[in-house]
Structure 1
Amino acid sequence: MCGRFFIAQAPEVFAEVFGYPERPNFPPRYNVAPTQPVAVVTARDGARHFRLVRWGFWPSWLKDPKTFPLVINARAETILEKPTFRGAVRHRRCVFLADGFYEWRREGTGRGATKTPFAIRRADGAPMALAGLWESWLGADGSEIDTAAIVTTGANGTMAAIHDRMPAILAPDAVAPWLDTGGVEQGAAAALCRPCPDDWLRLDPVSDRVNAVRNDDSDLIVPVSRPQPAAPKPDAPPAEQPRSSDEDAQGALF
């Protein structure tokens, strides 16, 4: 599950890292949520481009968006099989621009359960290349909306202390083949979406203010003083494991 992320560095940093010619002057955003416009990189005929899309995937064959659930993530394990994503993984792959994302560690059950927010970013401070899929949806009235979803994979050892899923963070040398829909077939591309090395990530507990989408300021990514989570033991009972992403009520907020 990836339900919030942040993009804090200057636009010039992302343009240089991802190599697109456009020079958009977008502001930092510290609490990006589903249904909002998000920045992605796409490629066509070998050239990369900056693009704004809506976070929440609508397949091209969709007739009535009101009947379709909000799809913000696409599981890497099933993107080759699900009709929703089959066309996009073949023809419309993208990279979400981000500096990091948020995840909530759930502890306890029932009314006594607590959810602690963490900001997850690269330990070296570099931008994150989050694998994504995009699609253009055409309405009956001729309106066109570009939408996208973040590809997720199983958690690595670092993320396992918080959650069992994480975004697919592409290695620098994997960005080009992921975007190359003309030269890299979908099976090889899907194989690039795997847990990143443990030492890539830094986990910081952050303020509960991130829970409210209306809060969008730099204080949200400032670490607060809380005990660091310990990775769960492989043989720990289910009650002591981070809650599965398919059951995580945090996703229901969106």
Structure 2
Amino acid sequence: MCGRFVLFTTEDALIQAAGDASGFARITAPQGLPRARYNVAPTTPIPILRAQSAQEASLEPARWGLIPHWKQDDSGPALFNARAETVREKPSFRSAFRHGRCAIPMDGYYEWHNKQPYWISTGELIWVAGLYEDNDGQVSATMITTEAREPLDWIHHRMPRFLAAEQIQQWMLGSDEEAAQLLIPGPTQGFEAQPADPAVGNVRNDYPELLQPAGLF
């Protein structure tokens, strides 16, 4: 599961990182990029990487919480995670799996264990498999999750589907069957978890000190 994450890599650094990781020859950000965020919650705008062609991709804002193409509004629970095991069959996600696969950047995410939040990261920008829908210009997205693997399985039994650099284009541009090959737990090498400030539980708190235990600043 992933219900809060962090993205402090912004502006030119995010565009450069997207090109380096994905292999697309050109990355654009036609609508600009968000400011640094340390407590991104569902229903807020997040950047997603969408393929425009085999050579070009764009970073664009999307509501975090997928709105299926057949839904008229954003009422009801936000669909911010989609289980890899059922994403191809579930009515809420199967169309987006066929036509709207994207990658979501993050510098790390939060997970709770025994009511204690943990900041989970590798020290580098991370890419997560996602899905998006574009309903008459209203773009919304969700993250794929899988069964958790070491060293993260003690924190929570689910984790985002992390994409290695060589998997980004397979996920975004591959056939349905090629993308389905990635509906398994992704690479977890280099991930570390450290206690975070419990203040992260309040979505109004959004500052760098959240990444450290309370009382260190």
Same fold (TM over 0.5): yes
Query: Which residue of the other structure, out of 149, 163, 166, is the alignment partner of 1:156?
Result: 149
Is the CA contact (8 Å cut-off) linking 2:109 and 2:119 kept in structure 1?
A: yes
Q: Which residue of 1 is the match for residue 16 of structure 2?
A: 16
Query: Which residue of the other structure, out of 52, 57, 60, is the alignment partner of 2:61?
Result: 52
Query: Which residue of the other structure, out of 86, 101, 106, is the alignment partner of 1:93?
Result: 101
SS at match of 1:160: coil
Q: CA offset at residue 224 of structure 1?
A: 6.0
1:189 aligns with 2:179: yes
Is the CA contact (8 Å cut-off) linking 1:80 and 1:187 kept in structure 2?
A: no
Cα distance in structure 2, aligned partners of 1:197 and 1:130:
11
Relative distance call for 1:5 and 1:117 in structure 2 (3 A) is: same
Cα distance in structure 1, aligned partners of 2:168 and 2:214:
33
Q: CA offset at residue 204 of structure 1?
A: 0.9
Q: Which residue of 2 is the match for residue 70 of structure 1?
A: 78
Cα distance in structure 2, aligned partners of 1:178 and 1:71:
20
Relative distance call for 1:173 and 1:224 in structure 2 (3 A) is: farther
Moved over 6 A (4+): none
SS at match of 1:199: coil
Q: Which runs of 5+ in 2 are unaligned?
A: 20-26
Cα distance in structure 2, aligned partners of 1:102 and 1:27:
19
Question: Could you state the TM-score of these two structures normalised by the residue count of structure 1?
Answer: 0.76
Q: Which residue of 2 is the match for residue 116 of structure 1?
A: 116
Q: CA offset at residue 13 of structure 1?
A: 2.2
The answer to which structure has the higher helix fraction is: 1
Query: Which residue of the other structure, out of 168, 178, 187, is the alignment partner of 1:175?
Result: 168
Query: Which residue of the other structure, out of 72, 87, 91, is the alignment partner of 1:79?
Result: 87
Provide the aligned length of Structure 1 versus Structure 2. Answer: 206
Cα distance in structure 2, aligned partners of 1:28 and 1:15:
14
Identical-pair percentage = 37
SS at match of 1:219: helix
Cα distance in structure 2, aligned partners of 1:207 and 1:4:
13
Aligned CA RMSD, in angstroms, stands at 1.8
Q: Which residue of 2 is the match for residue 202 of structure 1?
A: 192
In structure 2, what residue type is equivalent to 1:56? G
Cα distance in structure 1, aligned partners of 2:156 and 2:206:
23
